[in-house]
Amino acid sequence: MAAPIIHFDLDSPYELAKEQIRFYRENGFVRLKKVLPAEVLEHYRNEISAKVQELNTERLPLEQRSVYGRAFLQVTNLWTKSEIVKEFVTGKRLARIAAELMGCRGVRLYHDQALYKEPGGGFTPWHADQYYWPVNTDNIVTAWIPLQDTPVEMGTPAFSPGSFRIQEGRDLEIGEDSETRLQTTLKEYGVDEGPFALGDVSFHSGWTFHRAGPNQTVRPREAMTIIYMDLDARLIQPKNKHQEADRQAWCPGVGIGQIIDSPLNLVLYSR
């Protein structure tokens, strides 16, 4: 059966309110309502989920995995494996939102990743994404795009408002230690957590600490993420083994100090 024709322009603008931009810059994240139509997300969910099933390499039962392994199935750069996913990932609508939230003249793709939390899947420990990224700017943001209505019981992101300003905990990789230590560090900042309707999208900056609860439902929590970086972002000397792995995987051929403009780092929006 042929895929349905979707009459929606993924390059069309989403009008951000000044208050939404202000909220992002003060708190390091923002939740936006009705960014994409439900039928559009359902169309792309079919392809994304098929590719996750095809490309996922995790075979251990949940109970035999590490805390990180129980948190989600993770499949990266799906846009390079599917023209349909590429169409979704390279849309200007989300990219423009990212640029306007950060206040930069444009954004490139760092990479995408599908994050599927299986039924019974464990919690995602407190962490900051930018621990893993060898980039010279804080203008890097992740769009978290649920592919179904997502109640808190399914494991929605919980953000620590304003935590992008603190230095403590930036040297922690995601795991049991980061969960334990950051619970104490972040106590005074509080937690912002809530359900996502299909079509809602959140954006959080690289140094915003966040976590997610376990999936207590019988359905997988299916989510797609796209990481956008400032058009002028440059590669720095990796500070840990994870940044070195990222340098090789997502920035091939880029020298230290150079703009990250490899064939994988497409310009997705420029004013």
Structure tokens belonging to residue 22: 């202000």
pLDDT 10s digits, 155-196: 999 999 999 999 999 999 999 999 999 999 999 999 999 999
> Which residue from 264, 221, 203 is spatially nearest to 35, judged by alpha carbons?
203
Q: What share of residues in the chain are helix, strand, coil (percent, to 5)?
A: 35, 25, 40
pLDDT 10s digits, 54-75: 999 888 888 889 887 887 889 9
Tell me what the mean pLDDT of segment 98-116 comes to: 98
87 and 112 Cβ atoms separated by less than 8 Å? no
Exposure on the CB side of residue 125, measured as CA atoms within 13 A: 18
Q: What is the pLDDT of residue 111?
A: 98
With a cut of 80, say whether residue 6 has pLDDT above it.
no
Q: Measure the N-to-C terminal CA separation of the chain; round to a whole number of Å.
A: 39
> Which residue from 110, 94, 116, 109 is spatially nearest to 45, judged by alpha carbons?
116
3-state secondary structure of 48: helix
Instruction: Show the domains of the chain with their CATH numbers.
Output: 18-270 (2.60.120.620)
φ and ψ of 158, to 5 deg = -120, 120
pTM, 2 dp: 0.95
Give the separation between CA 203 and CA 21, rounded to whole angstroms: 11
Q: What is the pLDDT of residue 2?
A: 46
Give the separation between CA 220 and CA 121, rounded to whole angstroms: 9
Give the separation between CA 260 and CA 257, rounded to whole angstroms: 9
